Structure 1
Amino acid sequence: MPYAMGEYYERVSDYDLEYQSQSELDLPFWRELVQRFAPEHILELACGSGRIGLDLLKMPGEQTFTMDGLDIEPDMLKAYCRRVEALEPAIQQRVSLHEGDMTDFHLPRKGQFDLIFLPFNSIAHLYELEQQFGAFRCVYDHLASGGTFVVDTFLPDIDYLSNALNRPSTVYLEDEIASEDFTMLMYTTRKFDPIEQLQHITWTHEKFFENGDNERYLTRLDMHVFFPRELQILFLSAGLQIDAIYGSYDWKPLGKGTRQIVIGRKK
């Protein structure tokens, strides 16, 4: 079954603009996580253009951990590389980027990572059971003994999914984003497949430039909806012990927010 994913990430600068506000929400969580666990070697899966990884590398203090990033989209990794090249050499030496599929990867530090994390809904790109099991198996193999794996994804909203199931053609104005050169309106339609547990999302992007020009384009994205017990079973089936589950980026328990952030550990 073909799934829509790549085109959504092809316009890297637009993607980064759309999600710049996300950094205010989740970056404090990831910084504190690194401070709590004090890892030597970190791997970020679906690292994208480096929104999270670069922020962690620039944390103040005596942080000396290495940061590996894995992503399947070459344009995202190229943007990440350009940003790394603008950093001081001491930080550059701590970064290793890899183009690859998180369902089947083999990195030089296999078995050495103290912390592996999969942030901001990226697990929703694992559509099939085989992909999910493959990703967790690779994570287990790359973790050091006692190493930690953290997954952050949205908590399913039943009312929201009901609307996407029963009124799939409804168009919503999802966001209005302003940059120095243009204003972008984003309209969305969502259809939910309850059998495959998939959201089929279509965005219409309308950009209005300061010089009077305009541009319109569509992007599509499919996202698997993980229910809490389903996600927890993936951790346990991979041999990972679940240490904690949080419902928000301010460390509230599951059910007290819109997220499910699962922290597992290799025994």
Structure 2
Amino acid sequence: MPYAMGEYYEQVNDYDLEYQSQSEQDLPFWRELVMRYTPSRVLELACGSGRIGLELLHAPGNFVLEGLDIEQGMLDAYQRKLAREPEEIQQRAILHHGDMCDYDLEHKGQFDLIFLPFNSICHLYEIEQQLCAFRTTYEHLAPGGHFVVDTFLPDIDYLSDALNRPSTVYLEDEIESPDGEFTMLLYTTRKYDPHEQLQHITWTHEKFFESGENERYLSKLDMHLFFPRELQMLFISTGFSVEAIYGDYLWKPFGKGSRQIVVGRKPKHN
């Protein structure tokens, strides 16, 4: 079965609307992270349309922030948002179209911090893809630099439903557009493949407009689920030491929340 990713991200405006509330959850964590590490050069993998990156550029510090994404439409949206920022902000941002499994940036070996936020690692479906992404990231980090990966902790009860009741429809969210033009309902059906550790999600996006019209479209999204030891082994097997693991965006210890935020570090000396 071919893996589905791109079509889910093609409706950039809807994506931004769907995940605006996520910023309340994770942005304080990423701001605090750059304040703690005081990097001079940062790379965000799977940077999308700039939900996190644009906010970080307004955080304390004068670091250069580079972003990399495989979806050109997302990068175009990010660039449009950047164009509305002050010149000082624009000069500190560099965007790249590329694959996180195989990138080769000008400042390779000079990044103090590279991060992969909000479940984007789940689009690395094959073991070789995962290893390539981690090895490439290792090469781009400066000695002593950090690589931070944020993804959800697999929920066994949830997966059991996706495995045994794949036709169940879930109402995920109801969202009002900022201008009041429409209300959007989001539904999903989920099927879990335990052998590949893949969750196959079909999203139904249904918009009800003030005009009385409505619009409905489907998109598919596949996500690889990372179990804790598996994710930690990816760090260790590619040369990183695991410096810390947090359980949520409030810096709670791993196991005290629904996430696994792993902080890997490249050795200062080979």
- Provide the TM-score with structure 2 as the length reference: 0.97
Q: How far off is 1:212 after superposition?
A: 0.8
Partner Cα distance (1:153, 1:178) in 2: 27
Match of 1:75 in 2: 73
Deviations 1:5-54 (A, max 9, x none): 00000000000000000000000000000000000000000000000000
Secondary structure of 1:51's aligned partner: coil
How many Å separate the matches in 2 of 1:95 and 1:28? 20
- How far off its partner does 1:2 sit? 1.5
Q: CA deviation at 1:91?
A: 1.0
Match status 1:48 vs 2:54: no
Query: What letter matches 2:149 in structure 1?
Result: V
Distance 1:86 1:58 in 2: 13
Q: Name structure 1 gaps, 5 residues minimum.
A: none
Post-superposition Cα deviations, 1:168-196, rounded to whole Å, max 9, x if no partner, equal: 00011111111121000111100000000
| 1:146 and 2:137 correspond | no
Task: Name the structure 1 match of 2:172.
Answer: 174
For these two proteins, the number of residue pairs brought into alignment is 265
Partner of 1:230: 230
1:68-87 deviation digits (Å, cap 9, x = unpaired): 00000000000000111111
**3-state SS, counterpart of residue 211 of structure 2:** coil
Once the two structures are superposed, what CA deviation does each residue of 1:83-112 show, in whole Å capped at 9, x if it has no partner?
111111111111110000000000011000
**C-alpha distance in 2, partners of 1:187/1:81?**
30
Measure, in 1, the Cα distance between the counterparts of 2:20 and 2:92: 24
Runs of 4+ that moved beyond 2 A:
none
Code of the residue aligned with 1:192 in structure 2: it is Y
Q: CA separation in 2, counterparts of 1:58 and 1:12?
A: 23
What secondary structure, in the 3-state scheme, does the structure 2 residue paired with 1:58 have?
A: coil
Task: Write the distance in 1 (CA, Å) between the matches of 2:266 and 2:26.
Answer: 24
Q: Percent identity?
A: 73
Partner of 2:115: 117
Aligned mates of 2:83, 2:186 — CA distance in 1: 32
1:31 alignment partner in structure 2:
31
For 1:153 and 1:167, the matched residues in 2 are separated by 24
| Structure 2 Cα separation of the partners of residues 248 and 168 of structure 1 | 28
Query: RMSD in angstroms over aligned alpha carbons?
Result: 0.6
The letter for the 1-side match of 2:209 is F
- Corresponding residue number in structure 1 for 2:131: 133
1:192: which partner in 2?
A: 192
